[in-house]
Amino acid sequence: MKLFKDIFLLLLGGVIAVIGNYWIFSAGNEIPYVDRLVTTDISVISKENLLSNDVKILVGKDEKEVEKISKATIYLVNYSNKFFKDMEILLKINNPDSKIKLLSTHASGENNEEKMVVLGENNGIDSFKYSIKTAKRTDGYDEFFKLIIYYEGDYEFKDNDFTVTVLNAEAKVRKFDRAHSPDDTNNKFLSALILFGVICGAIIFFVLFIMFMNKLTRSQNKRMNQKFATRVYKASSKVGLLNEIPEDERKTVISQLLYEQMKERRQTSNKLELFLEGKAEPELDDYKVLDDK
């Protein structure tokens, strides 16, 4: 019985380890996501804000006068389980308004450092390629890439106005959501709840298995104990003093002795040991000496 349980628990541990390794392997090979966040600041500079008609806002080499200048910012955040190096991205503006004119762009990488980003091919209108030296994962809200665009007018850019594609790595880009962050309170609670559920499920399964095996092997254990008592009885016939005791009385003594020994053992063992070993409350009949056949 004990050997069977040990083998089962060993197999169970192996199965759990295989499942855990497979889950880790699957998670490690899962295509990661990069989150994209777009924010817009309308009319960061305008004649209305300056409260003066005498002020002129001039842009470009030709010093063209404009009425309003707005600002759009695109952030990329890595919540995946992977670290990217020399990531290349292509950013396209799906300009819904042909009247929008870009005035300037400013890109930076981690810790707002410009040297972490290199501008590649671009048309200066709606397509920009960047090489990002590092894209570290984060549990918070730290971006690994930021692009600031100043443009003429007061159009409010939306998330779907920009398309970001990772060119040299298996990574997809999705809309930013705080719930994607491992640091999010809901994610922490959900992870803790799942872990708690798995642990409780394993404990319940283990307890039910022990209870089932104890009930299933009760008669088998009784038979084994009786065979052991019979072997002790036969061996006692070779001991001079014991052999002088009448057979029926000697059988009773041996059964009583083994029964008391088990009761003593139960008293000195803790409940967990008794439960794991499947030791039911002993009965005198469990150690009955069998008649020879």
- pLDDT one-digit tens code per residue, 202-229: 777 776 776 666 666 677 777 888 888 8
The count of domains in the chain is 2
Crossing angle (nearest 10°) for helices 2-29 and 185-216: 160
Please tell me whether residues 193 and 149 are part of one structural domain: no
Say if 26 falls within a structural domain.
no
> 134 and 85 in contact (C-beta within 8 Å)?
yes
When mean pLDDT is compared across 14-18, 50-54, 273-277, the lowest value belongs to: 14-18
Q: Which of 178, 205, 237 is the last residue of a domain?
A: 178
Judge residue 131's burial from the number of C-beta atoms within 10 Å of its C-beta, 0-12 exposed, 13-18 middle, 19 or more buried.
middle
Query: CA-CA distances (angstroms) from residue 273 to 20, 194, 211, 265?
Result: 28, 29, 14, 11
Bridge partners of 269, per DSSP, are none
CATH of the domain at 78: 2.60.40
As a whole number, the mean pLDDT across the chain is: 78
When mean pLDDT is compared across 86-95, 197-206, 229-238, 266-275, the lowest value belongs to: 266-275
Rg of the Cα atoms in the chain: 38
Q: Name which of 34, 74, 73, 37 is nearest 165 in CA terms.
A: 34
Q: What percent of the chain has pLDDT over 90?
A: 19
Residue type, 210: I
Q: Which of 178, 202, 228 is the last residue of a domain?
A: 178
Whole-number Å distance between alpha carbons of 155 and 149: 12
Predicted pLDDT of residue 7 = 57
Say if 21 falls within a structural domain.
no
Unique residue bearing structure tokens 């806002």: 57
Please tell me whether residues 156 and 266 are part of one structural domain: no
Please tell me whether residues 160 and 219 are part of one structural domain: no
Predicted pLDDT of residue 76 = 94
Crossing angle (nearest 10°) for helices 218-236 and 185-216: 50
Residue range 283-287: mean pLDDT, rounded: 80
Please tell me whether residues 198 and 155 are part of one structural domain: no
172 has a pLDDT exceeding 70: yes
Considering only residues 275 and 152, tell me which one the structure prediction assigns the higher pLDDT: 152
Please tell me whether residues 99 and 45 are part of one structural domain: yes
Please tell me whether residues 39 and 111 are part of one structural domain: yes
Please tell me whether residues 140 and 272 are part of one structural domain: no
Q: In this structure, what token pair is assigned to residue 216?
A: 């299933």
Encode pLDDT of 91-131 as tens digits: 998 866 666 788 889 999 998 899 999 998 888 778 899 99
Predicted pLDDT of residue 191 = 61
Say if 265 falls within a structural domain.
yes
Supply the range of the domain harboring residue 278.
Answer: 2-13+187-287
Q: In this structure, what token pair is assigned to residue 218?
A: 């009760």
Residue type, 288: K
Crossing angle (nearest 10°) for helices 218-236 and 247-268: 130
Say if 222 falls within a structural domain.
yes
Phi, psi angles (nearest 5°) of residue 120: -105, -140
> 115 and 75 in contact (C-beta within 8 Å)?
no
Q: Which of 141, 161, 178 is the last residue of a domain?
A: 178
Say if 29 falls within a structural domain.
no
Say if 20 falls within a structural domain.
no
In 155-204, DSSP assigns E strands to 162-166, 172-175
Please tell me whether residues 233 and 168 are part of one structural domain: no
Please tell me whether residues 6 and 41 are part of one structural domain: no
Please tell me whether residues 172 and 264 are part of one structural domain: no
> 172 and 33 in contact (C-beta within 8 Å)?
yes
Q: Which long-range contacts (CB under 8 A, 24 or more apart) does 200-209 make?
A: 202/16, 209/8
Please tell me whether residues 147 and 45 are part of one structural domain: yes
Please tell me whether residues 41 and 125 are part of one structural domain: yes
Say if 239 falls within a structural domain.
yes
Say if 19 falls within a structural domain.
no
DSSP H/E element including 273: helix 271-277
